[in-house]
Amino acid sequence: MSHIFYFADYEILLGGKFKVWGQATLAYAVDDPQTFDPADLLQKIREQAADSHGVASDEVRIRSLNRL
C-alpha cells in the first residue's frame, strides 16, 4: 500500500453563492496504483472539507488539487 499526499483549495456554496474558502490536505491510500480512482479522490477531499464546515459534500467545489 502506498500513500499519495494531496493539497486542495476549495470553496463552499452558501445561500446560492460561494462564500467560504479553505484548504485541505489528504493522504490517499492506494493498494494497487492500477486501481487509482480520481473520482474517489475528489469525493474524499470534498467530504473532508464538508465535514469541517458542517455542510453537504455537494456544496464543496474544488478549485485546485495538487499532488505533494
Find the CATH number of the domain harbouring 35.
3.10.20
Domain enclosing residue 29, as ranges? 2-67
Residue 38 CA to residue 22 CA, distance in Å, equals 21
Residue the block writes with cell 494497487:
32
User: Residue 57 to residues 11, 22, 30, 67: CA-CA distances in angstroms?
Assistant: 11, 14, 22, 21
Measure the CA–CA gap between 13 and 26, rounded to whole angstroms: 21
What's the pLDDT tens digit per position in 29-40? 888 878 888 899
- What's the gap between Cα 53 and its chain centre? 13
Our count of domains for the chain comes to 1
- Asked if pLDDT for residue 18 goes beyond 90, the answer is no
Residue bearing the bigger pLDDT, 25 or 30: 25
